Amino acid sequence: MTPLLNVDNALTNILADLQTLPAETISLPESLDRVIACDIVSPIDLPPFDNSAMDGYAIHHEDSVDASPQQPARLSVSMDILAGDAPPGQLERGSAARIMTGAPIPPGCTAVIPVEDTDDEWQKGDVSPTPSDVGLRKCLSFGENIRRAGENISAGATIAPAGTLIGPAVIGMLAGIGCAKLSVIRQPKVVILSSGDELVDVHQALEPGKIRDTNSYALAALIRKSGGIPIRLPIAKDSLESIRALYRRALEINPDMIISTAGVSVGAADLVKVVMDELGDIDFWRINMRPGKPLAYGTLQGLPFFGLPGNPVSTMVTYEVLVRPALAKIAGRARKPRIVTATIADDMKSDGRRSYNRVTLRREQDRIIARSTGIQSSGALMSMVLAEGLAIIPEGRNHVSAGEELSVLLLKDLD
């Protein structure tokens, strides 16, 4: 019998086959959680001009050198500068300009004193006339409370390099430079196939011997979370004609990846292999992991194809280990390290394959403690609901004792 394929080798082979999808242009409001296709460089300074960080008075800082609460330094008020206004002229020594937060700094100004550090009782939103003079109660240093042009980012600097996953802050920066449209990696379309006479959809009543299709819904959520666009097709019956029609329908959609669940294990009803021989090429059928040994990877008329096991946990675990990295590559997403080292709180068993045991995680001082979610059956989907990580038992190990350390693949962010 051919040895089972090593998980790492399988992933290396898969990633070597895949290319990042081409770019498309979208509007800025549509860009959240999309991947930037090329470096975005600022064409302007942000802020574009020196401006006030406070509501207060623009001054020459030297005019405040002897100021104190007991003996305010008194200056004449020569101008009033609102946000959005241009300063009417030069600020002379011995004078001050009432100024709003964000308003341009007048030429000659070297500091802004907050209104609360003056004897003016003006408050934000106050439309009272500009006073004739103001008393400074604090000594200021050069540049205090002035936001300089370009201190956020300067013209020619990169705001976000290619491959950046766009978040709210990036969107704000792009709005600031007037980037109304941008180039992003196209989201991969992923068709999900399910087959089996025992399966019914979520809205159908259960009859004796039937179970609901959980895999396609879980996969759709995982794909969406990975930045893809899931497309679920109706469940095929266990007949060659039904499965062949399902796969041909998937190809007509012209997706970027096809994922099927069930139909790849050894058994009389596994007709997927027949259809795959007709429509595609399979690189491998089995892999040295638990859960998830019956796993197929190849191409359907040139499109990447994954045939995942039918048990719900096996489906999700093989997705996390092999499909998620593959989808990340074609979606242009960075593969962030998701492995931590944890101390195992429970004895764990394996059959010698690389095993992925569902665990909860908790920080205790300088350690991460991993505790089994309980039953590790590949059909116990509730174990994935509880799981925060997958403890990885290496190949060749049949037993891991409590207190040992194992690598853990994170399923959720660790607090």
pLDDT of residue 269: 47
Q: Check whether 2 has a pLDDT greater than 70.
A: no
The pLDDT value recorded for residue 314 is 94
- As a whole number, mean pLDDT of residues 322-335 equals 94
Specify the pLDDT at position 265. Answer: 56
Locate all alpha helices (DSSP H) within 104-239, ordered by sequence. Answer: 168-176, 215-225
Phi, psi (rounded to 5 degrees) for 399 = -150, 135
Task: With beta carbons less than 8 A apart as the criterion, state whether 350 and 400 touch.
Answer: yes
Q: Where in the chain is the domain with CATH 2.40.340.10?
A: 339-410
The confidence band for 337, taking pLDDT boundaries of 50, 70 and 90, is confident
Residue of 352, 363, 346, 362 lying closest to 393 (CA atoms): 352
| Alpha carbon 339 to its chain's center | 17
Residue 123 has pLDDT above 70, yes or no: no
Sign of the alpha-carbon torsion through 402, 405, 411, 412: positive
Question: For residues 140 and 64, is the Cβ–Cβ distance under 8 A?
Answer: yes
Tokens of 276: 């795959």
Determine the pLDDT at residue 127: 63
**pLDDT reading at 63 higher than 80:** yes
What local confidence, expressed as pLDDT, does residue 294 receive?
Answer: 84
**CB neighbours of residue 374 within 10 Å:** 13
Neighbours of 239 (CB within 10 A): 13
Give the confidence band of 331 by pLDDT, cuts at 50, 70, 90.
very high
Out of 106-115, 134-143, 182-191, 376-385, pick the least confident.
Answer: 376-385
The answer on pLDDT for 199 being more than 90 is no
CATH assignment, 7-21+187-330: 3.40.980.10
CB of 383 within 8 A of CB of 373?
A: yes
In this model, does residue 29 exceed pLDDT 60? yes
Q: Where in the chain is the domain with CATH 3.90.105.10?
A: 25-46+151-185
* pLDDT computed for residue 308 by the predictor: 92
Q: What percent of the chain has pLDDT over 70?
A: 96
The mean predicted confidence, pLDDT, of the chain is 92
The pLDDT value given to residue 268: 40
Q: Which CATH architecture has domain 339-410?
A: Beta Barrel (2.40)
Percent of the chain with pLDDT over 90: 77
**What confidence tier does 371 reach under pLDDT thresholds 50, 70, 90?**
very high
Q: Which residues contact 384 (CB under 8 A, 6 or more apart)?
A: 312, 313, 316, 358, 411
pLDDT of 141 above 90: yes
pLDDT in tens, 375-413: 888 888 999 999 999 999 999 999 999 999 999 999 998
- Distance between CA 243 and CA 230 in Å, rounded? 19
Enter the pTM of the model.
0.87
Beta-sheet strands, E only, within 243-288: 257-261, 280-286
Strands 211-212 and 158-160: unpaired
Q: Which CATH number fits domain 25-46+151-185: 3.90.105.10, 2.40.50.140, 3.20.20.450, 3.40.50.300?
A: 3.90.105.10
Q: Which tens digits make up the pLDDT trace of 277-298? A: 888 888 877 899 999 888 889 9
Assigned CATH class of 51-147:
mainly beta
The pLDDT of 147-172, averaged and rounded, is: 96
pLDDT band at 211 (very low <50, low <70, confident <90, very high): confident
Reported as half-sphere exposure (CB side, CA atoms, 13 A), residue 160 has a value of 23
Angle of helix 272-279 versus helix 240-252 axis, rounded to 10: 40
Per-residue pLDDT reduced to its tens digit, 303-318: 999 999 989 999 999 9
Beta strands in 213-353 (DSSP E): 229-232, 257-261, 280-286, 289-290, 294-300, 303-308, 339-344, 348-349
Return residue ranges of the chain for CATH 2.170.190.11: 51-147
Distance CA 32, CA 23 (A): 15
Task: Find out whether the peptide bond into 291 is cis, omega within 30 degrees of 0.
Answer: yes
Residue 146: enclosing H or E segment and its boundaries? strand 146-147
Q: What is the CA radius of gyration of the chain?
A: 31
